[in-house]
Amino acid sequence: MYDNWFANGAVVAATLAAVMLSALIHYEGLVAVSQGLNRIHPRNPRIKVLYSILCVLVLHVAEIWVFGLAIWLLMLWPECGYLATRGSLHFLDAIYLSAVTFTTVGYGDIAPVGPIRFLSGTEALSGFVFITWSASFTYLEMERFWRRN
């Protein structure tokens, strides 16, 4: 299955593209969230917390969809691998695999086989980095807000 170097290269290229697009989404998204927090009146502390948490969750969902779409597109070329599961496979199964990989839960009911395992492994690392980045951002924003009060 790993004999086709074009397929292996496609997986590596798709992985790099998904990581770079997700990092760009995350960075630009956090910049926008930070600017949005500055526009919310200080008398609304709960709205600031709710706004920041919901925005960070939306960013993570967008990143999960980027990786899920990459998995789905790579599966169109059988040499890139497939997802082992019981029953038929749907596009949302690729999104589900992406979500459990991104969050490092990894239930194991759907497993990547072949070169696309590289994308899944890299997604787990990226998801961990993005989640901790969001936690740091949220902590720093809330600390700044609490310091003012």
**What is the predicted pLDDT for the residue at 26?**
98
Is the pLDDT confidence value at 16 over 90?
yes
Domain ranges of the chain: 5-148
What does the block give as tokens for 28? 């630009």
Cβ atoms within 10 Å of 125's Cβ, excluding its own: 12
Report how far residue 115's alpha carbon sits from residue 112's, in angstroms, rounded to the nearest whole number.
8
Band (51; pLDDT cuts 50, 70, 90)? very high
Topology of the domain covering 5-148 = Helix Hairpins (1.10.287)
**What is the predicted pLDDT for the residue at 148?**
66
The three-class DSSP label of residue 23 is helix
Band (5; pLDDT cuts 50, 70, 90)? very high
Taking residues 136-146, what's their average pLDDT? Answer: 85
Q: Which has more confidence, 124 or 108?
A: 124
Q: Which has more confidence, 131 or 145?
A: 131
* Cβ pair 122, 14 in contact under 8 A: no
Mean pLDDT of all residues belonging to the chain: 92
The tens digit of pLDDT for each residue in 77-107 reads: 999 999 998 878 899 999 999 999 999 998 9
> Left (φ > 0), alpha (ψ -120 to 50) or beta: where does 90 sit?
beta
Whether the pTM exceeds 0.85: the reply is yes
Is the pLDDT confidence value at 149 over 70?
no
